[in-house]
Amino acid sequence: MLKSNRIKMKKINICIIGARSVSSGSLIKLLLQHKHVKINMLVSEVEGEDIEKIHSCLRGVFSGKTEKYDPKKIIKNCDLVFLHKSHGDFWEKTGKLVDLSVKMDKDLRFIDLSADFRLKDESLYSKWYDFKHGRKDLLSQAVYGLTELNRDKIKNAKIVANPGCYPTAVLLALAPLLKGNFVDINSNQGIYVYAISGFSGAGKNNNGTSAFNTAENIKPYKVGHVHQHVPEIEQEINNMLHKKIEITFAPHLAGFKYGILTTNYVTLKKQHEWKYIHSVYEKMYKNEPFIRLFNGCPEIKDAVGTNFCDIGFSVDKDKNTCTVMSVIDNVIKGASGQAIQNMNVMYGFDETEGLPYSEALKRASVA
Amino acid sequence: MLKSNRIKMKKINICIIGARSVSSGSLIKLLLQHKHVKINMLVSEVEGEDIEKIHSCLRGVFSGKTEKYDPKKIIKNCDLVFLHKSHGDFWEKTGKLVDLSVKMDKDLRFIDLSADFRLKDESLYSKWYDFKHGRKDLLSQAVYGLTELNRDKIKNAKIVANPGCYPTAVLLALAPLLKGNFVDINSNQGIYVYAISGFSGAGKNNNGTSAFNTAENIKPYKVGHVHQHVPEIEQEINNMLHKKIEITFAPHLAGFKYGILTTNYVTLKKQHEWKYIHSVYEKMYKNEPFIRLFNGCPEIKDAVGTNFCDIGFSVDKDKNTCTVMSVIDNVIKGASGQAIQNMNVMYGFDETEGLPYSEALKRASVA
Amino acid sequence: MLKSNRIKMKKINICIIGARSVSSGSLIKLLLQHKHVKINMLVSEVEGEDIEKIHSCLRGVFSGKTEKYDPKKIIKNCDLVFLHKSHGDFWEKTGKLVDLSVKMDKDLRFIDLSADFRLKDESLYSKWYDFKHGRKDLLSQAVYGLTELNRDKIKNAKIVANPGCYPTAVLLALAPLLKGNFVDINSNQGIYVYAISGFSGAGKNNNGTSAFNTAENIKPYKVGHVHQHVPEIEQEINNMLHKKIEITFAPHLAGFKYGILTTNYVTLKKQHEWKYIHSVYEKMYKNEPFIRLFNGCPEIKDAVGTNFCDIGFSVDKDKNTCTVMSVIDNVIKGASGQAIQNMNVMYGFDETEGLPYSEALKRASVA
Amino acid sequence: MLKSNRIKMKKINICIIGARSVSSGSLIKLLLQHKHVKINMLVSEVEGEDIEKIHSCLRGVFSGKTEKYDPKKIIKNCDLVFLHKSHGDFWEKTGKLVDLSVKMDKDLRFIDLSADFRLKDESLYSKWYDFKHGRKDLLSQAVYGLTELNRDKIKNAKIVANPGCYPTAVLLALAPLLKGNFVDINSNQGIYVYAISGFSGAGKNNNGTSAFNTAENIKPYKVGHVHQHVPEIEQEINNMLHKKIEITFAPHLAGFKYGILTTNYVTLKKQHEWKYIHSVYEKMYKNEPFIRLFNGCPEIKDAVGTNFCDIGFSVDKDKNTCTVMSVIDNVIKGASGQAIQNMNVMYGFDETEGLPYSEALKRASVA
């Protein structure tokens, strides 16, 4: 029945703004396997480029040319806009498209993979991203698109703020402990987050991601309370705790291409066995198609190429501490894959449609 | 129309013998996305193992346990058997299954990813693989499964001998020149094949593929007329030339996981422009969904994770020589992916079904 | 003239027990550049092997054959024994050699790169290493060979217990804070140590260090209070604090060959500026040839191939926490290099002799 | 005592022009271990930079600032100038320094690591390097610095043209066959050279060496008769053959940092056994400290970090062909190390002085 439904379903028309970024390449690649979408417009500052020359993975698979930003054309031809990745530019573009689409009476929706709608407090943009956000009205409307936590709100959202890669991995790792009120937030050290990212997280062409600087290397950077993902993580932690805390965040740049591993160290309110903590996670995540719980430690290689978030943990009963580890593919679950997952929720498609292993996951969920 | 067809189509039941190998893991992963198959049996010498523990990529996606080899059960429950990878063992297993299935009047078919049915001259098995082949009768029946070259024979084959990874890349690179009779086979140096393989080609757990021996390294091995893929390449070259020649083959083991690059150096019978040679390739491959011709040089990273064979070449007009480069993913187009492509041909499925980018490729072929 | 000089200088005679290990290969390579030593005996369980076949880096540089363990021969021919790396076997061998050398009135000395003399409390060996230590008398004699911290004791030690790779990096990172009494040890979370090691730390040939398991991967293991280096780190921390505390230790196996990065998170007793903490480190380490302080974060690639320990840190003044990062080459400063540094201290050689950059470092120390 | 010795020995004063390049970093690192030199001047277009910030490997080891090009100052303060690496600029600088030093009656000598003095026929510079060479007079004076082949001429050279990295590996591989007149140069395919280089060969900061383009990848480039090292290789081959031939050259960019592997395919004039060919190589290279002959195939990892050229070969007796493989560290034997080897020859130092394993090699040559 689902299948016949799917066939009849009209395809939604997609516009991608920022078609040149690594994540956009990944997004296009995934969307091509999606049954209910059509990629209609590829918008980029550089006009007229062949998309398969920008993203060599698309060669022989998909052709199309980038075009310049034209709000009316987008509204006329598209149902859903993905934006990626120039932070500080998209709030304005999205704002204009929202206003204009209202005027033109078109139900245009947005999944923004930049940071422009992630933070609710607009003053944080000045502090952490160095730009002034001009659409406070839209900030309050936008839904933070961590699918597993905000599924219901995402369904009806006009603007989904797709989470950052680090925040996705950290928040999925900590949510069961935070929501279950297990964390001792009065502990003087608070929550300590250690994270390693593949170099694709740093964008394509900069000195930091030269082979000289990444091969056979690991490099901590912005350690402490410095990285721009800190306020995003804190905002969502505070939402879950209903209380304000600060984290310590130690990100690292690694020599592998894809993947993020986070190791989150927290103090628990009281002694718990590993088994009990595990049951807490299982309860929260048992029906989630993209969360896999590990008895041991998750590792980068298993999550790369998928939309999974793999989670494992170690409990030190004597010290009341818990180390939660999570792994994602930074470009998929940390960007393009979660964006598609959000789209599926927004449009009532099967949540796994278009994502790696979708057919197997659909079957699994039926059984 | 195709789509509705697909829905009505009965699924074929699959048995995989040798479920523990790297390629079997890849095969299962791909088959899970295939619309017309059901994985029914996983046969392995080690019985009762969880398949998702063997292939961690299957975790949360597919469960199943290995079982022991039971010919009657296979014939009863399955339509198609994939075999991988213990050379020298499968001719006997396949032989028995063929005999028994005839007796039981069941149309059981085979795609053998080992070398056991690739060579037509059974004496070559003693020489190159160190075992005596006992089923000459089946050798002559078996079809060499290089899809692009033998599509028509594959359609009706009972046994498809899935090509080796190196031969796939080399033969697809050379076929247009060989079939078009461009190669000067009287040249004293003949055809010189240089090839580099990712370490996954060497299997999972041996000293050669320890991280110590592969990281930041490249290593030639079995250089000259020594590697077991030599007779396979020569057999198919000779079929195309209707003449016997010997190649020189210089394989290398590289420090990356997936991918094969071959560089094939040949003397042409006379001077040709690059443009003309290119048109020869284009003519032969223009409708092939899995061949991509490059104006420049193909590179490993673009083909990895796909079933594509990327081909480029350089022509030295003055010297009448041509260097043809080809790239494949050794585990996909070089094993599991081509096996599925062959299955698709055998059962009349869309040739791209279940393979990476299948939806986009179907669309492309419609347009 | 230089040569005759070199010849006149008396050289100490070296025996290496466990000549086949990765660290022994590195040790030999370094000793060959050392002006005051001669490698006299290479002892291994496998007798009669060419050392340059075991350690391919020695090809064309050094020849010699392994021989079996013969205590009398060692005492007769050698002044200094390096042992590496079968934990649980060397306390007995060393014990016998000590007793016998006393009897034979020979001043034989030992640098043990295994764990056999690192822990002072012999009961820890049963708990963490699963063997019973039979020479409590020697345990108390042995000096823990973290050169920068125990230089004076090392000078006259008969047995130097060369530190583990992780402990070396962790203890050098924390020593100034611990010795200066800056750490709030009543903090409930205590000291949290996160560490990443190149795969060479896991030995040469096991499943964990197959290229399949290490390439493009990072993998936490033995997270919590589980890894065998925990008691070693705690013993030395406790020595500095004069108090017993427990650490949390999260080690990771990375896909690069050499190098360890540790990130040590501690609570300070009170608020301090980065500048002040930096001055504390500078004061303690300013004359150390092998400690380099970084204003920013140290990274793996800069320390690999050297005997340096690179240290950087981030201070969170508001939270009274400090994250200290340290990087070493796990096989050099974490094993063979520090062993040579210890030897240099024991025999009054220039401390940098035989180590990478020795000539430049000597010159630097003169100036 | 050792120290005072060192001090009394007269040291030659070194100037490095182009101090920012990768090879200059390696050169400085090696020179610091050299007993008979002092680095006096570091010349760069960017003035006043800390050299240890440019080359992080020099941190804590060597300080110095870059200064601008000042011919008189160089002549006054230095005995030997290394130049690296802006092709097309150095012939003029060197020319000026030569003229001026003659005028000032100073014996200034040059080792040029750029291509500016490698080619004897100045018209080749216009064709292959796109600049017009203005000092034909100096071209004829300059000695091609492939140490093993031109040792005698290098001794008294004023200008040594340090070979390119690919030519070094190719020419050392082929020299015994070419000089011994074994190669059938009338073969229609001629000499086919296949080569793989680590990404350090492509310089530090360009798009080709971004981690995105190198990680888990291999990429052929400039295949045929296109790469700028072709005329250099041909010039030296022709010198050995006393005849003009053209090669085919297929270079590749690999994902590892250091190392070159070349595979050279030639037709022999007549049938030879492997053993005989081996004896030819042994005869020519037996006293060479930096050539290691392998019975099997050499591999990248063994030569990296050394000044060795490792050579192995496979002979196909039936086809009269021979595949010679050679491996070097592209930055050491392919640039900085060979430059120091040449300096040692020019100044009568031990040829291995300052190079990796020097002490062991000196000892080996005494014995």
pLDDT digits (tens, 9 = 90+) for C101-120: 999 999 999 999 999 999 99
pLDDT tier, C85 (very low <50, low <70, confident <90, very high otherwise) = confident
Confidence of residue C186 (pLDDT cuts 50, 70, 90): confident
Beta carbons of D218 and B267 less than 8 Å apart:
no
Taking the C-alpha atoms of residue C256 and residue A219, their distance in angstroms, rounded to an integer, is: 13
Lowest average pLDDT, out of A72-76, A210-214, C38-42, D330-334, goes to: A210-214
Indicate yes or no: CB of B357 within 8 angstroms of CB of A4. Answer: no
Please compute the mean of the pLDDT values over residues C87-99 and round it to a whole number: 91
Take residue C217 and report the two structure tokens written for it. 């991967």
SS (H, E, C) A118-161: CCCCCHHHHHHHCCCCCCHHHHHHCEECCHHHHHHHHHCCCEEE
Q: Reply yes or no on domain C2-141 having CATH 3.40.50.720.
A: yes
Identify the band that residue C188 occupies on the pLDDT scale cut at 50, 70 and 90. low
What is the spatial distance between Cα C306 and Cα D12, in angstroms, rounded to a whole number? 27
pLDDT digit string, tens, across residues A150-207? 999 999 999 999 999 999 999 999 999 999 999 998 765 679 999 999 999 877 666 6
Cα four-point dihedral sign A232, A234, A235, A236: positive
Residue D1 is predicted with a pLDDT of 28
pLDDT value of residue B207:
67
Task: Inspect the interface and report whether the beta carbons of B216 and D297 lie closer than 8 Å.
Answer: no
Spatial CB neighbours of D86, under 8 Å, sequence gap ≥ 6 = D18, D114
Q: How confident is the model at residue B210 (pLDDT cuts 50, 70, 90)?
A: confident
Q: pLDDT category, B189, cuts 50, 70, 90?
A: low
Active-site positions of C read: 165
Would you state the pLDDT for residue C5? 39
Nearest CA in chain C to B203: C212
Q: Assess contact for B162 and B342: CB atoms under 8 A.
A: yes
Closest residue in D to C55 (Cα–Cα): D302
CA distance D231 to chain C (A): 32
Angstrom CA distances, D203 to B85, B220, D22, D200, D258, stand at 43, 26, 7, 6, 11
C-beta atoms surrounding A239 within 10 Å: 16
Q: What is the reported pLDDT for A6?
A: 42
Residue of A15, A57, A78, A165 marked catalytic: A165
User: Best of C183, C184, C188 to disrupt the A interface by mutation (most A CBs within 10 Å)?
Assistant: C188
Q: Does pLDDT of A18 surpass 60?
A: yes
Exposure string over D270-294, b if 16+ CB within 10 A, otherwise e: eebeeeebbeebeebbeebbbbbbb
Name which of A204, A211, A256 is nearest D209 (Cβ-Cβ). A211
- Strands lying side by side in the sheet with C80-83: C37-43, C12-17, C80-83, C109-112, C159-161, C143-144
Report residue D4 CA to chain centroid gap: 34
pLDDT tops 90 at residue D205: no
Q: Residues D37-82: pLDDT tens digits? A: 999 999 999 999 999 999 988 999 999 999 999 999 999 999 999 9
pLDDT tens-digit series, residues A121-134:
999 999 999 999 99
Return the SS3 of B22.
Answer: helix
Q: Determine the average pLDDT of the residues in B252-281.
A: 95
Segment A310-320 mean pLDDT: 91
Q: What are the strands of the beta sheet with D218-220, ordered from one edge?
A: D218-220, D247-254, D191-197, D260-267, D321-328, D309-316, D291-293
The pLDDT confidence band at residue D218, using thresholds 50, 70 and 90, is: very high
Interface confidence, given as ipTM, is: 0.92
All residues of chain A having their beta carbon less than 8 Å from the beta carbon of residue B60 are: 292, 308
pLDDT, tens digit (0-9, with 9 covering 90-100), for B86-101 = 788 889 999 999 999 9
Confidence at residue C87, expressed as pLDDT on a 0 to 100 scale: 81
Q: Is the pLDDT of residue D317 over 90?
A: no
Residue C367 confidence (pLDDT): 44
- A85, A21 Cβ separation under 8 angstroms: yes
Q: Which residues of B are catalytic?
A: 165
Q: D8-141: which CATH number, 3.40.50.720, 3.30.465.10, 1.10.10.10, 3.30.930.10?
A: 3.40.50.720
Spatial neighbors of B99 by CB under 8 A, at least 6 apart, are none
Fold match, B11-141 / B166-331: no
* Region of poorest pLDDT, from A218-227, B10-19, B37-46, D4-13: D4-13
pLDDT surpassing 60 at residue C49: yes
Q: Residues of D with catalytic annotation?
A: 165
Sort out which chain A residues have CB atoms less than 8 A from D214's CB and list them. 211, 215
Instruction: Calculate the dihedral angle through the C-alpha atoms of D164, D168, D174, D176, rounding to the nearest 10 degrees.
Output: 130
Q: Supply the pLDDT for residue D7.
A: 43
Does B6 have pLDDT greater than 60? no
Q: Which residue in B187, B217, B299 is closest to D300 by CB distance?
A: B217
For residue A87, what pLDDT is reported? 81
User: Is C219's CB within 8 Å of A300's CB?
Assistant: yes
pLDDT at A231: 97
Q: Name the minimum distance, in Å, from the CA of C204 to any CA of chain B.
A: 7
Q: Is the pLDDT of residue B345 over 60?
A: yes
Reading the block at residue A226, the tokens are 């410095």
Whole-angstrom distance, CA of residue D326 vs CA of residue D291: 10
**Domain edges within chain B:** 11-141, 166-331
Query: pLDDT (tens digit, 9 = 90+) per residue, B279-305?
Result: 999 999 999 999 999 999 999 999 999
| CB spacing of C5 vs D5 below 8 angstroms | yes
Q: What is the pLDDT of residue B212?
A: 86
Nearest-CA distance B221 → chain C (Å): 17
User: Does the pLDDT at position D105 exceed 90?
Assistant: yes
Closest chain C residue to the Cα of A301, Cα to Cα: C217
> Per-residue pLDDT for D3 more than 60?
no
- Give the per-residue pLDDT at D187: 67
Q: What is the pLDDT of residues C118-149, one digit of tens each?
A: 999 999 999 999 999 999 999 999 999 999 99
The stretch D98-112 carries a mean pLDDT of 96
CATH code, A11-163+333-366: 3.40.50.720
The minimum CA-CA distance between C114 and chain B, rounded to whole Å, is 21
pLDDT confidence bin for B366, thresholds 50/70/90: low
Contacts of B327 (CB under 8 A, 6+ apart): B169, B259, B260, B261, B262, B298, B299, B300, B302, B303, B309, B310, B311
Q: Is the domain defined by A166-330 classed in CATH 3.30.360.10?
A: yes
The percent of residues above 90 in pLDDT, for chain D, comes to 84
Q: How far is A212 from chain D (nearest CA, A)?
A: 7
Comparing D296 with B365, which gets the higher pLDDT?
D296
Query: In the predicted model, is pLDDT for residue D178 greater than 60?
Result: yes
- CB < 8 Å to C362, chain D: 3
- Average pLDDT over chain D reads 92
pLDDT averaged over every residue in chain C: 92
Chain D residues touching residue B257 (CB < 8 angstroms)? 216
pLDDT of B363 reads: 80
Percent of chain A past pLDDT 90, that is, above it, reads 84
Q: Which residue of C1, C2, C287 to mutate against D (max D Cβ within 10 Å)?
A: C2
Residues in chain C closer than 8 A to B214 (CB atoms): 211, 215
Predicted pLDDT of residue A311: 98
Q: Which residues of A touch C254 (CB under 8 A)?
A: 218, 254
In the predicted model, what is the mean pLDDT of chain B? 92
Distance CA B135, CA B125 (A): 11
Residue from the list B33, B57, B360 with its beta carbon closest to the beta carbon of A32: B360
On the question of pLDDT at A8 being above 60, the answer is no
The CATH architecture that domain B11-141 belongs to is 3-Layer(aba) Sandwich (3.40)
CB pair distance less than 8 Å for B299 and D258: no
Assign residue D181 a region (left: φ > 0; alpha: ψ between -120 and 50; beta: otherwise): left
Q: In what order do the strands lie in the sheet with A260-267?
A: A218-220, A247-254, A191-197, A260-267, A321-328, A309-316, A291-293
Whole-number pLDDT of residue A82: 97
Architecture of domain B166-331: 2-Layer Sandwich (3.30)
The alpha-carbon radius of gyration of chain D (Å, integer) is 20
A294-303, B96-105, D144-153, D186-195: least confidently modelled range: D186-195
Give the residue with greater pLDDT, A209 vs D163.
D163
Which pLDDT tens digit goes with each residue over C310-343?
Answer: 999 999 988 889 999 999 999 999 999 999 999 9
pLDDT range class, residue C206, cuts 50, 70, 90: low
Give the per-residue pLDDT at B85.
Answer: 78
D324-347: average pLDDT: 98
Q: How is B267-306 classified by DSSP, letter by letter?
A: EBSS---HHHHHHHHHHHHTT-TTEEE-SS---HHHHTTS
The pLDDT, as a whole number, for residue D2 is 32
Average pLDDT over residues B219-238: 95
Rounded CA gap, B149 and D23, in Å? 49
